[in-house]
Amino acid sequence: MEIALLIWFVIGAGIAAGAFVLARSAIQIASIAYDVLEKRLDPRVATRQTILLTLAGVTALVATSIVAGIAILAMLQGLVNASGLNQ
């Protein structure tokens, strides 16, 4: 029982980490846009940084979706097994 709780805790932590990385990437992209508007950053450098941060955000979104999808499928499998409908 303790191992199952630990596994669910790790899944929750993975989802939270993915959401954090996605939010942090969005904040950094906004910061880059502001720096360009204030003429503190060259547009070419800003474009490169924005592309990298966008890739990080998309990667975090995909990884979080996969982890959440596996967790949902595991939970549904447990419900189906408990209800006896799998026979």
One-character DSSP codes across the chain: -HHHHHHHHHHHHHHHHHHHHHHHHHHHHHHHHHHHHTT-S-HHHHHHHHHHHHHHHHHHHHHHHHHHHHHHHHHHHHHHHHHTTT-
pLDDT category of residue 81 using cuts at 50, 70 and 90 = confident
Over the stretch 47-80, which tens digit does the pLDDT of each residue have? 999 999 999 999 999 999 999 999 999 888 888 8
Please state the pTM of the whole predicted model.
Answer: 0.78
